[in-house]
Amino acid sequence: MKSFLTLISRDLRLSIRHRADTIMVAGFFAITVILFPFGIGPEPGVLERVGAGILWVTALLASLLSLDHLFSDDEQDGALDLLLTAPVAPTTVVAAKITAHWLTTGLPLTLLAPILGVTLQMPSESTAPMILALLLGTPTLSLIGAVGAALTLGARRRGVLLPLVILPLYIPVLIFGVGAIDTSGMGFNANGLFAVLGGFLLMAAALCPWATAVALRLASE
């Protein structure tokens, strides 16, 4: 547990020193969401209806952007090999890196989403469900994304490959995430959809660190 926290604080310190990366992801998220009112037109009825979908899809793409250097920075300077040979379980290393990734991308996106939701004229009743859905969903995105990032480590044309590998696996989270926001925004009970999102998170938390660790070990062989 102590090494887990140490690893998280190391990654957080690194990302504070490279603030631009975190800010860039949040900036990408904000500016892409803002493009939609121009593209679709500012009529209130339309934006209100598609707002949840826009926020989720954009959050998905934004978290994809930052996955590119989740492991590759450490691989290039050799830190990854040291971390994997350290007397810590590789799953712990991976879990710490995923947690740090979520703290620097998923969490800022979740905090930013309600403000952007207001600009998309989403009803105020859907703010709380939106935050809850993103809190449950974005860690799942980081977990699944880590598997993809580890698998594509050292591959050619990685930028194109990563979305092709990961986005199909993101689709269930997207479906239920948007469903949860929309259903509760219309005043219905969405507990079931939130439960499914939570289930995805638990399943991903159980399987993904392990799969990522295996993939990293194979990549560094």
Residues that bind other proteins (CB under 8 A): 147, 151-152, 154-158, 161, 164-165, 167-169, 171-172, 175, 203, 207, 211, 214-215, 218-219, 221
Shortest spacing between CB 44 and other proteins, in angstroms: 25
Nearest CB to other proteins, comparing residues 171 and 186: 171
Q: CB of residue 16 vs other proteins: minimum separation in angstroms?
A: 32
Query: By C-beta, is 11 or 75 nearer to other proteins?
Result: 75
For other proteins, give the closer residue by CB, 10 or 158: 158
Min dist CB 206 to other proteins, Å, is 12
Least distance between other proteins and beta carbon 152 (Å): 7
**In angstroms, rounded to a whole number, what is the distance separating the alpha carbons of residues 193 and 184?**
10
